[in-house]
């Protein structure tokens, strides 16, 4: 065994030196990333649409419905920020032409991950040609062009997800944005909502396929579902609330489930005169708010976790985003101010909830089942430090315990056992 291990090491070190690729180095790591991109999905429309798969994912996610686009609300600049972890002033993309891009200096996070782990297998599937054709130095092993509409993207994603060597998949869906451009970006537009519901169904299919992976039990997937911008009327690209109000979902063992409501940090967007403005951003608020550049940093952090490198402070990379993984300062501080403990978990009947922030004002408790149905709700008097939740009358299974305090919602998964 030892000899074989040494041999593999040797081949892999050759690979590091650029000698060549070998299947024996493809032993894939357990930490993996799935990014599902839904182009042009307004936050209020997402909340308005019927999205059972995203709702179910949210119940175990760090997520926000109240985040703000801090860059240029156009697809090219936005996806470049999402995938590089830097704003347009670094990656250089200010339009869908991708003119003046600087991906050699500020590459996709997948490229950075491969600097640490050259054998990662990273695949991008996109309906939008620009993502496949205009981005370079991205570390992708394959960039697959699919037809508009989503079905072929999902079919290709299923093929990729069946590959046990896959480490990172970015699946991009364009249909919501196309519907917005053709019939308006508007939560009152039934066609726009239908497009979002279709995207939700694709998410459901991909998440199911993830769980069917032969090694799923030993894998640690971080799932990131993101949009690039909202829209107003038939367009986007400006600074309006409807174009800038966005959402993020991050699910996996490495994030603490919680809802984050963020204040608007402002934007690095361009002014009406066409001059780019970088002075209107409150960097402290940006640290407390999930923003586009966090996606790449969080994905990268998850993939290279055991290297000890903290991507957000690694000076060679000059990234702008922050990691949402629980061992990092910023997001963790948001969690610590609001978090609660549940024990025992699993339990046969009674769960004890201990509130870590007893100063908080009136809170409300909800318990939901796996299908999102509310099975219990209670007011929690202010000053309460702990209370019990008795589920002895319910069937064994997974439930979600939700604490609502004003606009903040915190969720923990609990297991009721026989």
Provide the binding-site residues for Zn ion, judged by CB under 5 A. Answer: 39-40, 75, 177, 228
Nearer to Zn ion, 94 or 114 (CB): 94
Nearer to Zn ion, 32 or 42 (CB): 42
As measured in angstroms, the least distance from the Cβ of 236 to Zn ion is 7
What whole-number distance in Å separates Cα of residue 320 and Cα of residue 281? 13
What Å distances lie between residue 13 and 20, 22, 23, 119, 306, CA to CA? Answer: 10, 11, 13, 11, 18
Q: Is the peptide bond before 146 cis (omega within 30 degrees of 0)?
A: no
Nearest to 144 by CA among 117, 163, 164: 163
What whole-number distance in Å separates Cα of residue 26 and Cα of residue 166? 9
- Residue labelled with tokens 């709700």: 377
Nearer to Zn ion, 114 or 292 (CB): 292
Strand partners, 365: 378, 403
What whole-number distance in Å separates Cα of residue 75 and Cα of residue 335? 31
As measured in angstroms, the least distance from the Cβ of 237 to Zn ion is 9
What whole-number distance in Å separates Cα of residue 390 and Cα of residue 399? 12
Residue 124 tokens read as 């991008």
Tally: H helices and E strands in the chain: 14, 15
As measured in angstroms, the least distance from the Cβ of 128 to Zn ion is 8
As measured in angstroms, the least distance from the Cβ of 175 to Zn ion is 11
Nearer to Zn ion, 119 or 269 (CB): 269
Residues 6+ apart with CB under 8 A from 23: none
Nearer to Zn ion, 40 or 266 (CB): 40
- Residue labelled with tokens 């949402």: 324
Residue 219 tokens read as 């894998």
Nearer to Zn ion, 75 or 298 (CB): 75
As measured in angstroms, the least distance from the Cβ of 162 to Zn ion is 29
100: left (phi over 0), alpha (psi -120 to 50) or beta: left
Residues 6+ apart with CB under 8 A from 3: none
What whole-number distance in Å separates Cα of residue 209 and Cα of residue 25? 25
As measured in angstroms, the least distance from the Cβ of 165 to Zn ion is 30
As measured in angstroms, the least distance from the Cβ of 38 to Zn ion is 9
Instruction: Report yes or no: 258 and 334 within 8 Å, Cβ to Cβ.
Output: yes
As measured in angstroms, the least distance from the Cβ of 228 to Zn ion is 4
Q: Give the residue nearest to Zn ion (CB).
A: 75
Nearer to Zn ion, 75 or 124 (CB): 75
Nearer to Zn ion, 39 or 127 (CB): 39
DSSP 3-state of 259: strand
Residue 158 tokens read as 């299923």
As measured in angstroms, the least distance from the Cβ of 94 to Zn ion is 14
Nearer to Zn ion, 128 or 400 (CB): 128
Nearer to Zn ion, 39 or 243 (CB): 39
As measured in angstroms, the least distance from the Cβ of 180 to Zn ion is 9
Nearest to 378 by CA among 370, 390, 393, 369: 390
């Amino acid at each position: 065994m030892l000899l074989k291990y040494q041999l593999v090491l040797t081949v892999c070190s050759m690979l590091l030196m650029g000698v060549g690729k070998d299947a024996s180095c493809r032993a894939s790591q357990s930490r993996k990333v799935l990014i599902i991109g839904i182009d042009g999905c307004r936050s209020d429309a997402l909340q308005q649409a019927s999205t059972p798969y995203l709702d179910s994912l949210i119940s175990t996610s760090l997520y926000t419905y109240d985040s703000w686009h801090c860059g240029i609300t156009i697809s090219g600049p936005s996806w470049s920020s999402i995938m590089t972890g830097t704003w347009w002033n670094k990656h250089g993309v200010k339009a869908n032409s991708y003119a003046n891009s600087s991906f050699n200096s500020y590459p996709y996070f997948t490229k950075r991950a491969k600097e640490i782990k050259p054998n990662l297998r990273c695949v991008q599937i996109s309906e939008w040609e620009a993502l496949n054709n205009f981005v370079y130095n991205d570390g992708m092993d394959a960039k697959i062009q699919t037809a508009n509409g989503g079905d072929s993207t999902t079919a290709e994603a299923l093929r990729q997800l069946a590959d046990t060597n896959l480490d990172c998949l970015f699946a991009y869906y364009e249909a919501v944005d196309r519907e917005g451009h053709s019939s308006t970006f508007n939560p009152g537009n039934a066609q726009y909502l239908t497009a979002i519901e279709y995207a939700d169904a694709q998410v459901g299919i991909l998440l199911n396929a993830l769980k069917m992976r032969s090694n799923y039990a030993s894998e640690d997937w971080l799932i990131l579902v993101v949009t690039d911008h909202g829209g107003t009327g038939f367009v986007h690209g400006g600074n309006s609330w409807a174009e800038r109000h966005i959402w993020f979902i991050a699910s996996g063992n490495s994030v603490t489930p919680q809802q984050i409501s963020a204040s608007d940090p402002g934007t690095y967007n361009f002014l009406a005169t066409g001059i780019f403005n970088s002075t209107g951003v409150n960097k402290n608020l940006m640290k407390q708010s999930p923003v586009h550049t966090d996606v790449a940093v969080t994905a990268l952090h998850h993939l290279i976790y055991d290297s000890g490198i903290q991507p957000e402070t690694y000076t060679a990379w000059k990234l702008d985003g922050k990691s949402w993984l629980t061992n990092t300062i910023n997001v963790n501080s948001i969690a610590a101010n609001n978090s609660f403990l549940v024990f025992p978990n699993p339990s046969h009947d009674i769960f004890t909830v201990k509130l870590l922030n007893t100063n908080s004002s009136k809170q409300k408790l909800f318990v939901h089942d796996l299908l999102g149905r509310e099975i219990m709700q209670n007011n929690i008097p202010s000053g309460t430090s702990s209370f019990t939740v008795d589920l002895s009358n319910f069937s064994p299974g997974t439930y979600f315990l939700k604490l609502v305090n004003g606009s903040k919602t915190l969720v923990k998964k609990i297991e009721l056992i026989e």
